[in-house]
Copies of this chain bind each other. A is one copy, B any other.
C-alpha cells in the first residue's frame, strides 16, 4: 500500500507512519514541521491553508491506497478559528482531494477523539461546523456560538465523526471507505495542552479507570488494521479506542 499520513512528525501520526513503514508499506508523510522519517516521502503541509494542501497534493505523484488523518491542533485559548480551519476545513479539503485519487478498495482513517462523543447531542452545531467553507467567517461563527478553544476541539471531532458516518453511502458507490478512531487521552505532546484546560481531577479519574493512559502504540496497530483490506467490511464507523472509557461512561450514564 501507498498511504498518506498527516501529522507524521510526532505523536499518533508519527507512530502510525512508523508502523506502516515497518509493515513494508510506502508512506507519504506530511506535517507542518519537518518530518525527517527515514524511508518516507516527506512534504511540508499547512493544513490550515487550502493552497498549501493543493500544492502538496500536486507534488505527490503516483497511485494512493490510503490516507491517515492525524494532523490537528490541540485547544489553546484564542485558537478556536484556526483550530476549526486545520482540524476540520483543511482535513476535509485534503481528504476530498485524496479520495478522488484513491485506488479501488482504498481507505481513509481519521483520528477523531473521545472528545467528539457527544456528536449526536450537538448535531445542529456539528452540521453547521461541517458546512463552513474557507471563505466563511470562522472566527465570527465561534463568537456567535460561544465556542472556546476546548469546545472548538470537541466540535471539530464531533463534526469529523458526523462526516465519517455520512461518508458510508456515497463511498460504497466508489468502492472506498472511511472510518474514524476515537482515542481518549494519549501520551503525546498534545496532552499538556489538555492538562492546562481540563480539571486535574477528571484527567486523574479517567487514567485511574483505565489503569493507565493511552499510548501511541495502542493506536498505531488499529489504524493500520483499519487501512487494510482485512477490515474492508467496516465502513462509516467511529471506533472507541480508549481502554474501556466509553463503555464505562455509557454504563454510568445509563445507571448500570
A interface vs B, CB < 8 Å? 120, 123, 127, 162, 164-169, 171-173, 177, 209-211, 214, 218-219, 221-222, 225, 230-237, 239-244, 246-248, 250-251, 254, 256
Contacts and interface: CB of A to CB of B under 8 A. Distances in A.
Among A164, A222, A236, A256, chain B packs the most CB atoms within 10 A around the CB of A236
B236 A246 contact: yes
A120 B222 contact: no
A165 B255 CA distance: 12
Nearest to A247: B236
Contacts of A127: 256
- Copies of this protein in the assembly total 2
A238 to B, nearest CB: 9
A230 B236 contact: no
B237 A231 contact: no
Contacts of A243: 172, 233, 235
Given A231-B222, A232-B218, A234-B222, A165 B251 contact: yes
Given A168-B248, A222-B234, A236-B246, 8 more contacts: A167-B247, A177-B244, A214-B233, A222-B230, A222-B231, A234-B239, A235-B247, A237-B239
